[in-house]
Chains A and B, each alone.
Chain A
Amino acid sequence: MDVTAGDILGFLSLTWQQAIMLGIGCLLIYLGIGRKVEPVLLIPIGTGIILANIPLGDIAGQGGLFALLKEAGIDTELFPLLIFIGVGAMIDFGPFLEKPYTILLGAAAQFGIFGTFFLAYLLGDGWLGIMDFSMNDAASIGMIGSADGPTSIYVSVVLGSKFTAAIVVAAYSYMALVPIIQPPIMKWLTTENERKIRMPVTPGKVTRRTKILFPVAAILTVCLLAPKATPLIGCLMFGNLLRESGVVKQLSSAAQNEMANIVTILLGITVGGMMVADSILQLETILIFVIGIVAFAMDTAAGVIFGKIMCVISKGRINPLIGAAGISAFPMSARVVQKVGLEADPHNHLLMYAAGANTAGQIASVVAGGVMLMLVPIFG
């Protein structure tokens, strides 16, 4: 037999690219455990990266565990949709239902998706051609701006982007960095006086009937107007209906806990398993991470600018800062708004309004995903 030591011992076959990926995997695990940055996702993703890049391990190769999980859960779009049922069961849309106008802030903040799409397409096949970004890739990269992992995965898988793994990791990583990315932009775009605008804290008056009718109304409205968003909004609102109906507590609990946790483990480790050195260590992938920050910055800026417009229209009754919570990074961006508001005025509590805009942003990002899936095939 003609067998060398390199065919048996993994470390002898280790390439420098694989070594870098092993380092990245360890870094993500460290960030998750040591720094508590999105540990629920970064630990499975980091572990997946390490396992997928072990030479001769074959876990990500054809027939391997990760290949099977990818085929069963990612390629079929199953995992992100199941996650959405869990997310829907976890979200209380009460703050949004109390202030329905905050949905406009959620809509405005989705500009980051489309602005980033335009930028990526400009760098790729659209004009400059310096990157290998097709229109489908650019649309998928733009979805980093949804600040919503499952939506990013769903859209990039449906559009068949070759950068799905990088897009997903960028989306989840930057969600954790919202407290760092958003405040400078919020302060730069608002005056001290605007940040000091107080919004009265009023006790909630949303009835149970309204909370139950909302998911049904959202499904009918959004799905009939933007049918491509049906799987996403359908699963999100189904989960929410389980929660708000109050008669299937065991199902709501299972969606929020057992199902969401199991799918998160499978999704995280599969996404990590997709990050194999050969396909990840490219200039395009590095650029996707840079563009991801631009996406979050544009989301924030668009939300705050629209907040300023609403401030003018309402004759100074709306604090523009709450526009920054229009991105769907829930609940981080609502907390950031509260913190920046308190810095300007220690008695200014914007959390309830920001939470409304934040949950509205969750719906808006799903709609944006559906709209992207509708428009790209038409123009692509």
Chain B
Amino acid sequence: MLDALWIVLLGMAIIFAVLGVLLGIMTVLSRLPEEDKDKKAE
């Protein structure tokens, strides 16, 4: 059962770590300036 507990703890930790890194990248991406074409379309 200890193995299963490790899987639960490590699993959740890895998910938060991976998605945390993705969050950081997405935060940067979401702040990218608009393209000229996007501005023209508006």
* Mask of B18-36 contacts with A, CB within 8 angstroms, 1/0: 1111110111011011110
- Roughly how many angstroms separate A113 CA and B4 CA in the complex, as a whole number? 12
| CB pair B21 A225 closer than 8 Å | yes
| CB pair B23 A104 closer than 8 Å | yes
A193 to chain B, nearest CB (A): 28
| CB pair A208 B38 closer than 8 Å | yes
The segment from A15-23, A52-60, A95-103 that touches chain B is A95-103
A379 to chain B, nearest CB (A): 4
| CB pair A380 B19 closer than 8 Å | no
Known: A100-B27, A226-B18. A121 touches B4 (CB 8 A): yes
| CB pair B15 A97 closer than 8 Å | no
- Roughly how many angstroms separate A371 CA and B18 CA in the complex, as a whole number? 10
- Roughly how many angstroms separate A246 CA and B1 CA in the complex, as a whole number? 50
B24 to chain A, nearest CB (A): 9
| CB pair A225 B17 closer than 8 Å | yes
Cβ-based interface call for A35 (8 A): no
- Roughly how many angstroms separate A107 CA and B35 CA in the complex, as a whole number? 31
| CB pair A104 B19 closer than 8 Å | yes
| CB pair B23 A213 closer than 8 Å | no
- Roughly how many angstroms separate A284 CA and B18 CA in the complex, as a whole number? 34
At the interface, is chain A mostly helix, strand, loop or mixed?
helix
A207 to chain B, nearest CB (A): 5
Q: Write out the residue numbers on chain A whose beta carbons fall within 8 Å of the beta carbon of B15.
A: 107, 110, 364, 367-368, 371
Q: Write out the residue numbers on chain A whose beta carbons fall within 8 Å of the beta carbon of B21.
A: 221, 225
- Roughly how many angstroms separate A225 CA and B16 CA in the complex, as a whole number? 12
Known: A107-B19, A225-B18. A214 touches B26 (CB 8 A): yes
A173 to chain B, nearest CB (A): 25
Considering only residues 181-208 of chain A, those with a C-beta below 8 Å from chain B are: 206-208
Known: A98-B30, A363-B22. A115 touches B3 (CB 8 A): no
- Roughly how many angstroms separate A222 CA and B6 CA in the complex, as a whole number? 21
| CB pair B11 A207 closer than 8 Å | no
Q: Write out the residue numbers on chain B whose beta carbons fall within 8 Å of the beta carbon of A363.
A: 19, 22
- Roughly how many angstroms separate A221 CA and B22 CA in the complex, as a whole number? 6
Cβ-based interface call for A290 (8 A): no
Q: Write out the residue numbers on chain A whose beta carbons fall within 8 Å of the beta carbon of B25.
A: 217, 221
| CB pair B4 A104 closer than 8 Å | no
Q: Write out the residue numbers on chain A whose beta carbons fall within 8 Å of the beta carbon of B19.
A: 103-104, 106-107, 360, 363-364, 367
Known: A101-B23, A367-B19. A117 touches B35 (CB 8 A): no
Cβ-based interface call for A31 (8 A): no
Considering only residues 73-104 of chain A, those with a C-beta below 8 Å from chain B are: 97-98, 100-101, 103-104
| CB pair B7 A368 closer than 8 Å | no
- Roughly how many angstroms separate A135 CA and B1 CA in the complex, as a whole number? 10
Q: Write out the residue numbers on chain B whose beta carbons fall within 8 Å of the beta carbon of A360.
A: 19
Cβ-based interface call for A330 (8 A): no
Cβ-based interface call for A30 (8 A): no
Closest to B14 in A: A371
Cβ-based interface call for A122 (8 A): yes
Q: Which 8 pairs from chain A and chain B are nearest by CB?
A: A100-B26, A379-B3, A114-B8, A107-B19, A121-B4, A225-B18, A375-B7, A210-B29
The contact sample of 9 A-B pairs, CB cut-off 8 A, is: A100-B26, A104-B23, A114-B7, A126-B1, A207-B35, A221-B21, A367-B18, A371-B11, A375-B7
Q: A114-B12, A208-B37, A367-B15 known; 18 other A-B pairs, CB under 8 Å?
A: A97-B26, A97-B29, A98-B30, A106-B19, A111-B12, A117-B8, A121-B1, A127-B1, A207-B38, A209-B34, A210-B29, A213-B32, A221-B25, A222-B22, A225-B17, A371-B18, A375-B7, A380-B3
